[in-house]
Structure 1
Amino acid sequence: MTKDVEMAARNGSNGAVAGEAYYPPPPAQGGDVDVDDDGKQRRTGTVWTASAHIITAVIGSGVLSLAWATAQLGWVVGPVTLMLFAAITYYTSGLLADCYRTGDAHTGKRNYTYMDAVASYLSRPQVWACGVFQYVNLVGTAIGYTITASISAAAINKANCFHKNGRAADCGVYDSMYMAVFGVVQIFFSQVPNFHDLWWLSILAAVMSFTYASIAVGLSLAQTISGPTGKATLTGTEVGVDVDSAQKIWLAFQALGDIAFAYSYSMILIEIQDTVRSPPAENKTMKKATLVGVSTTTAFYMLCGCLGYAAFGNGAKGNILTGFGFYEPYWLIDFANVCIVVHLVGAYQVFCQPIFAAVEGFAAATWPNAGFITREHRVAAGKRLGFNLNLFRLTWRTAFVIVSTLLAILMPFFNDILGFLGAIGFWPLTVYFPVEMYIRQRGIPRYTTRWVALQTLSFLCFLVSLAAAVASIEGVTESLKNYVPFKTKS
Structure 2
Amino acid sequence: MTMGKGSKDNHQQQSFDVSIDAADSKFFDDDGHSKRSGNKWTASAHIITAVIGSGVLSLAWAIAQLGWIAGPSMMLLFSFVTYYASSLLSVCYRTGDQLNGKRNYTYTDAVRAYLGGSKVKFCGLVQYANLFGVSIGYTIAASISMMAIKRSNCFHSSGGKNPCHMNGNLYMISFGIVEILFSQIPNFDQLWWLSTLAAVMSFTYSTIGLGLGVGKVIENKGIKGSLTGITVGTVTQTQKVWRSFQALGNIAFAYSYSMILIEIQDTIKSPPSESKTMKAATLISVIVTTVFYMLCGCFGYAAFGDSSPGNLLTGFGFYNPFWLLDIANAAIVIHLVGAFQVYCQPIYSAVEKNAAKRFPDSDFINKNIEIPIPGAVSPLKINLFRLVWRSSFVIVVTVISMLLPFFNDIVGLIGAIGFWPLTVYFPVEMYIVQTKIPKWSTKWICLHMLSAACLVISLAAAAGSVAGVVADLGVYKPFHAMY
Determine if the TM-score, normalized by the shorter chain, exceeds 0.5. yes
Q: Which residue of 2 aligns with 1:290?
A: 282
Preserved contact between residue 151 and residue 175 of structure 1 (Cα < 8 Å): yes
1:314-325 equivalence runs, <5 A: 314-325=306-317
Q: Which runs of 5+ in 1 are unaligned?
A: 1-33
Which amino acid in 1 is paired with 2:435? R
TM-score (normalised: structure 2): 0.85
Of residues 322, 340, 343, the one that matches 2:332 is 340
CA deviation map 1:9-64 (0-9, x unaligned): xxxxxxxxxxxxxxxxxxxxxxxxx9876677887777666555533432222111
1:99-114 equivalence runs, <5 A: 99-114=92-107
Secondary structure of 2:479's counterpart equals coil
Is residue 451 of structure 1 aligned with residue 453 of structure 2? no
Q: CA deviation at 1:393?
A: 3.6
Q: CA deviation at 1:139?
A: 0.2
Q: Which residue of 1 aligns with 2:61?
A: 68
Which amino acid in 2 is paired with 1:320? L
Distance 1:289 1:374, change over 3 A: farther
Q: Which residue of 1 aligns with 2:142?
A: 149
Q: CA deviation at 1:194?
A: 4.0
Is residue 482 of structure 1 aligned with residue 475 of structure 2? yes
Q: Which residue of 1 aligns with 2:203?
A: 210
Distance 1:231 1:278, change over 3 A: closer
Q: Which residue of 2 aligns with 1:305?
A: 297
CA deviation map 1:60-79 (0-9, x unaligned): 22111101111111111111
CA deviation map 1:84-125 (0-9, x unaligned): 111211221232233333334455444343223212111422
Is residue 412 of structure 1 aligned with residue 405 of structure 2? yes
Q: Which residue of 2 aligns with 1:29?
A: none
Is residue 85 of structure 1 aligned with residue 84 of structure 2? no
Distance 1:41 1:352, change over 3 A: farther
CA deviation map 1:386-436 (0-9, x unaligned): 776555444422322222122111110111111111112101111001100
Which amino acid in 1 is paired with 2:254? A
Which amino acid in 1 is paired with 2:351? V
Q: CA deviation at 1:164?
A: 2.0
Is residue 353 of structure 1 aligned with residue 342 of structure 2? no
Distance 1:451 1:424 in 2: 24
Preserved contact between residue 49 and residue 199 of structure 1 (Cα < 8 Å): no
Distance 1:39 1:393 in 2: 31
Distance 1:383 1:219, change over 3 A: closer
Q: CA deviation at 1:448?
A: 1.5
Distance 1:170 1:412 in 2: 20
Preserved contact between residue 162 and residue 171 of structure 1 (Cα < 8 Å): yes
Distance 2:30 2:381 in 1: 24
Which amino acid in 1 is paired with 2:311? N
Distance 1:372 1:37 in 2: 39
TM-score (normalised: structure 1): 0.84
1:432-451 equivalence runs, <5 A: 432-451=425-444
Q: Which moved more, 1:371-380 or 1:49-58?
A: 371-380
Distance 2:377 2:34 in 1: 20
Distance 1:178 1:383 in 2: 32
Q: Which residue of 1 aligns with 2:14?
A: none
Q: Which residue of 2 aligns with 1:243?
A: 235
Q: CA deviation at 1:190?
A: 2.7
Q: CA deviation at 1:374?
A: 5.0
Q: Which moved more, 1:148-157 or 1:347-356?
A: 347-356
Q: Which residue of 1 aligns with 2:3?
A: none
Distance 1:378 1:37 in 2: 39
Distance 2:352 2:307 in 1: 46
Distance 2:307 2:473 in 1: 22
Distance 2:82 2:161 in 1: 46
Q: CA deviation at 1:160?
A: 1.0
Preserved contact between residue 43 and residue 268 of structure 2 (Cα < 8 Å): no
Distance 1:296 1:104 in 2: 31
Preserved contact between residue 309 and residue 316 of structure 2 (Cα < 8 Å): no
Secondary structure of 1:321's counterpart equals coil
Q: CA deviation at 1:203?
A: 1.6
Distance 1:189 1:279, change over 3 A: farther
RMSD of the alignment, in Å? 2.9
Q: CA deviation at 1:186?
A: 1.9
Q: CA deviation at 1:366?
A: 3.7
Q: Which residue of 1 aligns with 2:7?
A: none
Which amino acid in 2 is paired with 1:313? G
Q: Which residue of 1 aligns with 2:458?
A: 465
CA deviation map 1:286-334 (0-9, x unaligned): 4455344433322221011110111111111111123554632111111
Which amino acid in 2 is paired with 1:85? F
Q: CA deviation at 1:473?
A: 1.1
Q: CA deviation at 1:207?
A: 1.1
Preserved contact between residue 86 and residue 294 of structure 1 (Cα < 8 Å): yes
Distance 1:379 1:292 in 2: 48
Preserved contact between residue 142 and residue 351 of structure 1 (Cα < 8 Å): yes
Which amino acid in 2 is paired with 1:456? M
Q: CA deviation at 1:337?
A: 0.6
Q: Which moved more, 1:374-383 or 1:430-439?
A: 374-383
Secondary structure of 1:255's counterpart equals helix
Larger Rg: 2
Distance 1:122 1:456 in 2: 19
* Identity, % of aligned positions: 59
Which amino acid in 2 is paired with 1:74? G
Distance 2:30 2:270 in 1: 11
Which amino acid in 2 is paired with 1:318? G
Distance 1:108 1:380 in 2: 48
Which amino acid in 1 is paired with 2:256? S
Of residues 114, 133, 138, the one that matches 2:131 is 138
Q: Which moved more, 1:36-45 or 1:230-239?
A: 36-45
Preserved contact between residue 39 and residue 269 of structure 2 (Cα < 8 Å): no
Distance 1:84 1:376, change over 3 A: farther
Distance 1:238 1:444, change over 3 A: same
Secondary structure of 1:337's counterpart equals helix
Q: Which residue of 2 aligns with 1:160?
A: 153
Preserved contact between residue 189 and residue 341 of structure 2 (Cα < 8 Å): no
Q: Which residue of 1 aligns with 2:18?
A: none
